[in-house]
């Protein structure tokens, strides 16, 4: 089974980290392919960047020439999963939703901890739309940016673990869902301090994708995610104009789904 794990931002080293985490979580026999969008933000932390990511991820998948069995969108709170589900016939999993879903099997209430305060609304909106919000007691932010994580990882980890501790004590969370990536030690630190399970969205998404593929299940095509109607699209797929690939960008192109 081959799963595409698509980073929402353009930083290739992050894609490596995400793909590595995915590989660690994957079952034997699952191949993980990390994809990086060719356009968008180096790190996604806001609404415009989220909209760019939606297209960047779809574009990266459309340009991928190999076969694949499932797609994971690897970002916390970004738009775009619905588009992928419409576009593709294989299962699509967003890591924000995957982490929440597994958390709901591990405890009565969960919290998401993330970095910047400005990504909290994006994560909340994702959970609300996906219907995994009712057991989420809080989405908390440490106030440190994604890139700061790399500069002072220990401080970043402590700041997020502080939020996790407050989530457990004050918000009555029983499970912590990570709403940010890239830190191997973060989960361990939180588990040690708070004695609660910590769910990493990437790992959760890999297992959920494997589950759906293994059961022969994929996205329903009867209404919301039915294949797009044939029509004239301009400038899409975007990657085509950017990379000067063959098809004219201004035609009624065939869609994968």
Q: In DSSP terms, which residues pair with 110 in a beta bridge?
A: 136, 175
CB 85 within 8 A of CB 92: yes
How far apart are the C-alpha atoms of 238 and 38, rounded to whole Å? 10
**Minimal distance, residue 215 CB to a second copy, in Å:** 5
Scan residues 52-71 and list those touching a second copy (CB under 8 A). Answer: 52, 54-55, 58
**DSSP assignment letter at 135:** T
Binding mask 78-107 for a second copy (x = CB under 8 A): -xx-xx-xxx---x-x---x---xx-xxxx
Looking at the Cβ atoms of 19 and 58, the one nearer to a second copy is 58
Residue from 12, 224, 247, 251 binding a second copy (CB under 8 A): 224
CB 76 within 8 A of CB 201: yes
Residue from 134, 143, 151, 245 binding a second copy (CB under 8 A): 134
Concatenated DSSP letters of 66-90: S--SEEEEE-SS-S-HHHHHHH-SS
Binding mask 4-43 for a second copy (x = CB under 8 A): ------x--------------x-x----------xxxxxx
Which residue has tokens 């932010």? Answer: 141
Is the peptide bond between 70 and the residue preceding it cis, with omega within 30 degrees of 0? no
Scan residues 176-195 and list those touching a second copy (CB under 8 A). Answer: 194-195
Secondary structure E strands in 125-196: 136-141, 175-178
Residue from 142, 186, 238, 240 binding a second copy (CB under 8 A): 238
**Minimal distance, residue 112 CB to a second copy, in Å:** 14
Residue from 48, 155, 184, 247 binding a second copy (CB under 8 A): 48
Q: Which among 12-20, 159-167, 178-186, 200-208 is the span making contact with a second copy, rule CB under 8 A?
A: 200-208
**Minimal distance, residue 75 CB to a second copy, in Å:** 14
**Minimal distance, residue 140 CB to a second copy, in Å:** 11
Residue 76 CB neighbour total at 10 angstroms: 26
How far apart are the C-alpha atoms of 142 and 139, rounded to whole Å? 10
Can residue 170 be called a binding residue for a second copy (CB under 8 A)? no
> Which of these, 25, 1, 8, 3, lies nearest to 203 by C-alpha position?
25
Element (H or E) spanning 17, and its range?
Answer: helix 12-25
Can residue 174 be called a binding residue for a second copy (CB under 8 A)? yes
CB 256 within 8 A of CB 88: yes
**Minimal distance, residue 91 CB to a second copy, in Å:** 7
Residue from 2, 23, 47, 64 binding a second copy (CB under 8 A): 47
């Amino acid at each position: 089974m081959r799963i595409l794990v698509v980073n929402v931002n353009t930083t290739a080293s992050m894609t490596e980290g995400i793909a590595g985490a995915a590989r660690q979580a994957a079952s034997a026999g699952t191949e993980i392919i990390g994809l990086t969008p060719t356009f968008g933000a180096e790190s996604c932390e806001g609404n415009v960047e989220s909209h760019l990511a939606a297209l960047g991820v779809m574009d990266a998948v459309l340009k991928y020439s190999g076969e694949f069995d499932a797609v994971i969108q690897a970002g916390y709170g970004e738009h775009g999963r619905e588009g992928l589900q419409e576009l593709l016939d294989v299962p699509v999993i967003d890591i924000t939703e995957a982490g929440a879903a597994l958390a709901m099997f591990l405890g009565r209430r969960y919290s998401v901890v993330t970095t910047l305060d400005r990504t909290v609304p994006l994560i909340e909106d994702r959970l609300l739309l996906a219907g995994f919000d009712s057991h989420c007691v809080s989405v908390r932010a440490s106030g440190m940016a994604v890139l700061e994580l790399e500069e002072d990882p220990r401080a970043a980890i402590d700041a997020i673990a502080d939020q996790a501790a407050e989530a457990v004590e004050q918000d009555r969370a029983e499970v912590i869902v990570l709403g940010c990536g890239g830190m191997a030690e973060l989960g361990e630190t939180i588990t040690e301090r708070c004695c609660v399970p910590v769910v990493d969205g990437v790992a959760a998404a890999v297992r959920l994708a494997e589950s759906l593929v293994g059961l022969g299940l994929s996205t329903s095509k009867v209404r919301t995610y039915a294949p797009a109607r044939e029509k004239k699209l301009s400038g899409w797929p975007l990657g085509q104009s950017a990379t000067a690939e063959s098809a004219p960008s201004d035609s009624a192109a065939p869609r994968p789904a």
